[in-house]
Amino acid sequence: VLDSQYGTYVWPCAVVLAQYLWAHRRSLPGKRVLEIGAGVSLPGVVAARCGAQVILSDSEELPRCLQSCRSSCLMNRLPRVPVLGLTWGRVSPELLSLAPIDIILGSDVFFDPKDFEDILTTIYFLLDKNPHAQFWATYQVRSADWSIEALLYKWNLKSIHVPLHSFGADKEHLASSSMPGRHTIEMMIISLAQSEGT
C-alpha cells in the first residue's frame, strides 16, 4: 500500500518484523498476539497466517487505520481477526477487557518521540497483566538523540537487542520486497524487568 499516511503504508520496519515472525513461525500456532499501531498489519497478518490468535489494534482516533487493518484481514482471508481501537497511553474499556496475550507486536511505533512514553505506558500495562509476555518491536533509527532507555527504567522494563542477521533480515531486499532498502532498522524485545529479590 503506497500511501505515506502513517497507518496506511507498509513501512520498512513492518517487513523486518514480518521476517522475524516468519523465522519463528513454528512457535506461533496457538500463541495469543496483539499488534499495536497495526495500520496495514503486515506483521499481524503474517502471525495469523502462521497459526497465532491475533488481535489487531490502532488508535481509536484514526478510523482510516482501523479500516486499513480490516481491509488487510479481508484481503488475506482472515475475516475473523478482531480489530480494536486502542490509543496509546489511554486506559479504555477495550484495553481493560483484553484477553491474555503472549506477544505484542509493534513495527515502527517509535516514530515520534512525543508518543514514546504513551507507548511504553501501554506496554507496561499489558506486560503487568501478562508477565510472561514480550513486546517484539522494530524501529527505524532516525536520530541519535532519540532514546527510550530512561523510559524503560522508569516503567520497570528491559530490552534486548535482536541482531537482524540472526533471522536473515540484514539485507536490502526481504521476501521479494525492496522496502528495507538502506534504512537503518533495529529490533528489540521488551519485557518486564525483574524486581529485586525475585
CA 103 – CA 34 distance, rounded (Å)? 6
97 pLDDT more than 50: yes
pLDDT band of 178, cuts 50, 70, 90: low
In a domain, 63, yes or no: yes
Helix axes 42-49, 12-23, angle to 10 degrees: 20
In a domain, 8, yes or no: no
Look at residue 2 in the predicted model and tell me its pLDDT.
43
Closest to 101 (Cα-Cα) out of 140, 53, 57, 67:
53
Look at residue 176 in the predicted model and tell me its pLDDT.
57
Look at residue 133 in the predicted model and tell me its pLDDT.
97
Kindly report the average pLDDT of the chain as a whole number: 88
54 pLDDT more than 60: yes
100 pLDDT more than 60: yes
Q: Which residues pair with 191 in a beta bridge?
A: 158
Give the domain range for residue 109.
Answer: 17-192
CATH number of the domain residue 112 falls in? 3.40.50.150
Look at residue 8 in the predicted model and tell me its pLDDT.
57
In a domain, 121, yes or no: yes
Give pLDDT tens digits for 62-89: 888 899 899 999 999 999 999 999 999 9
4 pLDDT more than 80: no
In a domain, 108, yes or no: yes
- For the chain, give the longest Cα–Cα distance: 50
Q: Which residues pair with 160 in a beta bridge?
A: 189
In a domain, 137, yes or no: yes
Amino acid code (one letter) for 104: I
pLDDT band of 5, cuts 50, 70, 90: low
In a domain, 4, yes or no: no
In a domain, 186, yes or no: yes
- How many domains in the chain? 1
In a domain, 11, yes or no: no
Residues 12-20, mean pLDDT to the nearest whole number? 91
Close Cβ partners of 104 (under 8 Å, ≥ 6 residues apart): 33, 34, 35, 36, 123, 126, 127, 133, 134, 135, 136
26 pLDDT more than 70: yes
